[in-house]
Structure 1
């Protein structure tokens, strides 16, 4: 280490190695796991893994959130240690791999580790896992950490797990790893001068790109010129994506005596290396958020930040996760600015206003809370998890996400009814695609059209390479030429064939799509047999297999609208070319422009009627719940598969079936069905919740929706509507489960009313665990020295002391203090406003009154 530049992390390496030694070696119960918080520039990425390997903890696998970071880190370690990339140190990322049997330190992306866990569930060939830059909280990283912890707990107690980050809150990770020690390296940084340079003539309160009168390229040029003038090093510019980078590169080419470099994930490795290394001339490096962490751009003394990034979000319209441009969060802004302070005092030029700066969100919501979890659920099922809902995630997905994922996977044939993975599911999990698109490829292979199915899957998973208009055309505009499949038409255009609608394709984006297609083709074999007679028909059938829940039927009375399976209404977008087909799958949807508007079909593919249950229409007569009317009605339906072709009210509605339908509807919304929000019911439930919180030893049952949901079948006999249910004695039924002692405690410790000194019985307003409110006129409390209490005297009521007009004059939980201090000020005001009312100097000796009385002359 003596021949290397000293980095802050070097002093902490012995402590890190000690913490990561197995418990039997370290002599502590917590050996083998740790959390490392190290500031940017400390050297954690390149110095820690070789130190762990030297201590005999290898082979070391380091997980990086980005491909460029994995490659750059491997090359940097090779330079520092005198190793060779592909020998002692290596990397493995999508489309690129340099490692071998001698590799002792491997840098890879989290997805590569997940694939390795499937092939080697016990990670026999791994000594220690390092989760680098874990604060980025990718979905794959969260899943890989949880799976690694399971491996360590069940079969590999010797497997080391080290989680590192610059900005992560370490406590939750430490607890997740069983109380892992937290180690900290302060790093080194220099002061950074912050400047704000919003777009010229931006509308008030708008952010970058909204209301600007100058282009982003011109604004970036202003920021770069400022940075070049006020600093003497290189300039790092953060932009949202490749398109923005290339436009700004063209604009900055006019600035003399500088080199302009680009840096993004899909860039050629040689160009990435050139961007990362300082050179003899001043440089301006235009980068996406890949340069926020993990990689270091040499020579940087100034940062110009556009304040934007492309962030993965689940696109419910397409059923896959997509990159969208968003404002960055505060943590990312600080991380970017920190890149200017590694070599000396630096400058950060932020291309937004100080007002916008104050509205940045603190952190980006983790991917596990905002992305589709169907792929992780399939991953876990393939790994042997039989109950994915019980899997111990580091942070659980949002409510309903796992259930929705299981339902989708069952519909695709990846899981059986018990939730176990099928052979088709195992085949899907081997493909580098979301489950829905993996199903598309497998269906295409079975139909003898693997190549076009792989191209379609790549097209739908990557950034759309076609430049097309927005969700609707101008008023009165004619629709584009009709097609049977928007997807097939795009596939033909990507392969250089004729396009009936003259689609305009971005060649760079098209090359990426074709690259992904080639990877898919290497991952699956086409079954032997005759090729499809028609690629168009085969692709249409494959799309139907991948989007069965998106099956739609066009409305007969309005050809511009359709109904999807499940009853959701849709509107046809101007750019959608499937204009004639009665049945189709909505491959891509776009949300309506305003809340409550129907979603818009952007891309579709026709479905032949005979593909849907053989084209046979089924007629059913059964009771259904009419949500608008809140009652069960008889309904005659004509169904084709999951689609409702027509329906109308029907008088036939058997009582037993109607009761089942009503119970099912009521259990979905017990509050509405039973009228639990009615004042006479809600007040009792709030009293119960209050007493449960403050006198738990009474043992009252929880008056939750779940408790009332269980009572619904007992009161539903003969009922047809929610109105019928609200007339049933459901509250009495619930209270009937209380013991005599519990009912007495409810009336005594959480009374409905309190008697005040005037003799009035005034209702208390309860609100959960908060002190109940007693709204009472001041004169009615004369003579009472202390605040009334409830819940065995544990909780003082909150007094809303009212003036004679019934409006609150004072709010207090301490009546004695009110009489002593505030009353005399209140009295002065009230005497002038209400001279006919008694306002004695000493309220504690005055008689209380509920009525206005004339004062004696």
Structure 2
């Protein structure tokens, strides 16, 4: 091993403690600032201390650029060729051998390895570096490794390293599984950094803002200048602007981002006597250390991985960085000597920024992680050991998508299709698209270009030239063949070409050039194959036009959409929405691909007989409906017959109308209900059945079982159904203590009216009560009947519940008033001795 100046790297002082903790199988949580030497010294210390660990050492880096750089530096320091003792494996690129003892992997490659080798059989130690980035894959990897270590492989060493993340939450994570983790913190190596802020928020483009401060920065410092920009597009624009500025020929301008070739990345990092201006994404924030930087210009922006609902895929979105990220960027200027940092935002706005970034698992698409868990045999996502668990909504949405794509079954087990998908280092949608394209015979060149167009930055500056996906695939195919007639961003188009080549290699062939003879998509059959492959990847984006409006449609999930631009060019009834702008009442669809109904997956098709209550008909109607997932494809009316489903619909529609329905065609049922309820209240000792609302609902439910309409319920035998709740003795008690009618002195049987909130009443002609001395009562004498005493005109002349008082105090006044108006009627002076008559007329004399 080449000599390393351990005094020059602060982590060197921590190595004995790290090795002791690892030797005792305690997980280690190391916090060390960027440049402290953790990525360099810890793997080499483990490599050269055989007593600490046996087996391969896996160093996990979240970024490809960092993985390649770390492997290169470790090999150099170890004095061995890259790919021998120390190697790396990133997506589409592997440099390792059977002799490799330290393998630097990206997190994605570790997760793939875990699906193939779930116990990491020949691995002695896993080092999770740059854990503060908190990608979903890092969180998933931590949980998987701890599950292995705590259940089956206690000897597996685990070291978690971070530049900024506090150790306590990770130590607590290990404690929950019964493990004592050792937290170690290393000092950093830094010098003062003088931070300057913009005077105000600028509306100028980023390239203009950078050019405003760059000359002054170059004059104030003698070292390299590191400029943080959000993405590749901004890097290219600033690069052109600096070249046009022609400040000085004594420095070189370099770009630094994840998709650079390995040789280009090495050139940026390699020490140089010439001054450098380095335009970088956030890969230089902590993942890559560049010696000699003394000045930083920070745009304050980055592209963060979020879920992009427009295309149903993860996407990099430009967002303000957190305060913690800003501090990390500024610190890059003070690694070797005092430096300066120019922030392109005002100081007043700095404190309104988030202190730390949210973990990716709380803001990004979860479907890739969900598929990896299924591949690993996990069934209950929230039972998995998470440092920060995903939301239940995110879990449910991801599982539903994977089931729709036929990647997992209802038990969250991988299907045959899912097993093929998980073998590809791609988002599940793109993996499903390429598998479907391969299965249906779509030319691989077109499939790879389509996948790249869905995932990468669009190269087309003028979308009107190439409005649709098929046009864009054809244009990119021409670009690859050397046609430069279209207006495109060359850098974006080259990146798309690189990604397409990588995808083709993933599928087992060499490059786009090898497929130059593939048929073009202007062939009708190939367009159909593309549509079928897109349908497999976007089963949740199927939409059906609304019959009444050609522009409007409804999508799986019930979301309304409106077709715009080129999406309107097709008259197809069914289509897949590829690019959706989910704003407003209806989401705008900018790109749509027509499909045919017979292409739809059988496992998502179903035919149902459905029932619903039609208020206009006051009856349940039945329809036969065909669905794709929850999207109705067709419907037709069918005969509605009584069934449990019909009964439930009718019951739900009528339960609030019980009073009306009990009344039915006459009032007998309603009066029986009121009588029984009142008597149960007046004489609880009788223990009569209580016909409360719940009991009446049960009667209604029973009647609904053999009926389909409100009209049938109105004519239903409500009285008989309610009487059936009472046995013979109870019915007799009801008739005795709360009778329907009462015989008065005239011999007539008069109906008693019962009321829930008022006393019972009886409307009776005054002459029919002659001879009665007291007010009649019911309920064993506990309740008086209120008498409505009617005149010959059938109108109440007096209302009383004290008949004796009426005869004594009021009758003579009523008699005087009525005898002159109705002389034929009987108005005796003494009503108590007079004979009652049912018609009220004077008795005839012979």
Match of residue 320 from structure 2: 327
Counterpart pick for 2:505 among 501, 505, 522: 522
Q: How many residues align?
A: 631
Tell me whether 300-309 or 434-443 shows the greater mean CA deviation: 434-443
Give me the whole-angstrom Cα distance separating, in 2, the residues matched to 1:103 and 1:661: 69
Matched, 1:12 2:14: yes
Give me the whole-angstrom Cα distance separating, in 1, the residues matched to 2:524 and 2:462: 31
Deviations 1:573-594 (A, max 9, x none): 33546443221011221121xx
Specify whether residues 415 and 261 from structure 1 end up closer, same or farther in structure 2 by C-alpha distance, changes over 3 A only: same
Give me the whole-angstrom Cα distance separating, in 2, the residues matched to 1:32 and 1:50: 19
Matched, 1:103 2:113: no
Give me the whole-angstrom Cα distance separating, in 1, the residues matched to 2:104 and 2:256: 19
Matched, 1:458 2:460: no
Residue pair 1:623, 1:654 contacting (<8 A) in 2 also: no
The 5 A counterparts of 1:169-318 are 169-177=166-174, 178-197=179-198, 202=201, 212=203, 214-253=204-243, 254-256=246-248, 257-318=250-311
Shift of 1:639: 4.0
Specify whether residues 233 and 563 from structure 1 end up closer, same or farther in structure 2 by C-alpha distance, changes over 3 A only: same
SS of the residue 2:356 aligns to: coil
Shift of 1:645: 5.4
Give me the whole-angstrom Cα distance separating, in 2, the residues matched to 1:617 and 1:13: 61
The 5 A counterparts of 1:455-854 are 455-468=449-462, 486-496=468-478, 504-524=487-507, 534-574=525-565, 576=567, 578-592=569-583, 596-612=584-600, 622-623=610-611, 636=623, 639=626, 641-642=628-629, 643-644=631-632, 656-657=644-645
Shift of 1:533: 8.1
Matched, 1:92 2:92: no
Shift of 1:394: 2.3
Residue pair 2:108, 2:425 contacting (<8 A) in 1 also: no
SS of the residue 1:123 aligns to: coil
Specify whether residues 410 and 330 from structure 1 end up closer, same or farther in structure 2 by C-alpha distance, changes over 3 A only: same
Residue pair 1:578, 1:604 contacting (<8 A) in 2 also: no
Give me the whole-angstrom Cα distance separating, in 1, the residues matched to 2:473 and 2:102: 41
Specify whether residues 465 and 566 from structure 1 end up closer, same or farther in structure 2 by C-alpha distance, changes over 3 A only: same
Which runs of 5 or more structure 1 residues have no equivalent in the other structure?
24-30, 203-207, 470-479, 666-712, 721-857
Shift of 1:342: 0.9
Give me the whole-angstrom Cα distance separating, in 1, the residues matched to 2:285 and 2:10: 19
Shift of 1:53: 1.4
Give me the whole-angstrom Cα distance separating, in 2, the residues matched to 1:660 and 1:229: 82
SS of the residue 1:495 aligns to: helix
Give me the whole-angstrom Cα distance separating, in 2, the residues matched to 1:324 and 1:235: 25
Give me the whole-angstrom Cα distance separating, in 2, the residues matched to 1:715 and 1:468: 69
SS of the residue 1:194 aligns to: strand
Specify whether residues 388 and 399 from structure 1 end up closer, same or farther in structure 2 by C-alpha distance, changes over 3 A only: closer
Counterpart pick for 2:362 among 364, 369, 372: 369
Give me the whole-angstrom Cα distance separating, in 2, the residues matched to 1:159 and 1:632: 68
SS of the residue 1:303 aligns to: strand
Specify whether residues 576 and 298 from structure 1 end up closer, same or farther in structure 2 by C-alpha distance, changes over 3 A only: farther
Shift of 1:78: 2.4
Counterpart pick for 2:48 among 29, 44, 54: 54
Specify whether residues 625 and 566 from structure 1 end up closer, same or farther in structure 2 by C-alpha distance, changes over 3 A only: farther
Shift of 1:632: 12
Match of residue 796 from structure 2: none
Residue pair 2:91, 2:425 contacting (<8 A) in 1 also: no
TM-score by length of 1: 0.68
Shift of 1:389: 4.3
Specify whether residues 418 and 578 from structure 1 end up closer, same or farther in structure 2 by C-alpha distance, changes over 3 A only: farther
Shift of 1:54: 1.3
Match of residue 39 from structure 1: 33
Residue pair 1:310, 1:326 contacting (<8 A) in 2 also: yes
Counterpart pick for 1:73 among 67, 70, 74: 70
Specify whether residues 10 and 715 from structure 1 end up closer, same or farther in structure 2 by C-alpha distance, changes over 3 A only: farther
Shift of 1:503: 6.8
Counterpart pick for 2:118 among 121, 145, 153: 121
Deviations 1:234-263 (A, max 9, x none): 111000111111111122222113221111
Give me the whole-angstrom Cα distance separating, in 2, the residues matched to 1:147 and 1:638: 44
SS of the residue 2:457 aligns to: coil
Give me the whole-angstrom Cα distance separating, in 1, the residues matched to 2:223 and 2:338: 11
Report the structure number with the largest CA radius of gyration.
2
Counterpart pick for 2:129 among 128, 132, 146: 132
Which runs of 5 or more structure 2 residues have no equivalent in the other structure?
510-517, 654-696, 705-846
Shift of 1:143: 0.8
Deviations 1:182-227 (A, max 9, x none): 001111211211111256xx5xxxxx6xxx1x33212101222222
Give me the whole-angstrom Cα distance separating, in 1, the residues matched to 2:260 and 2:491: 11
Match of residue 165 from structure 2: 168
Residue pair 1:192, 1:345 contacting (<8 A) in 2 also: yes
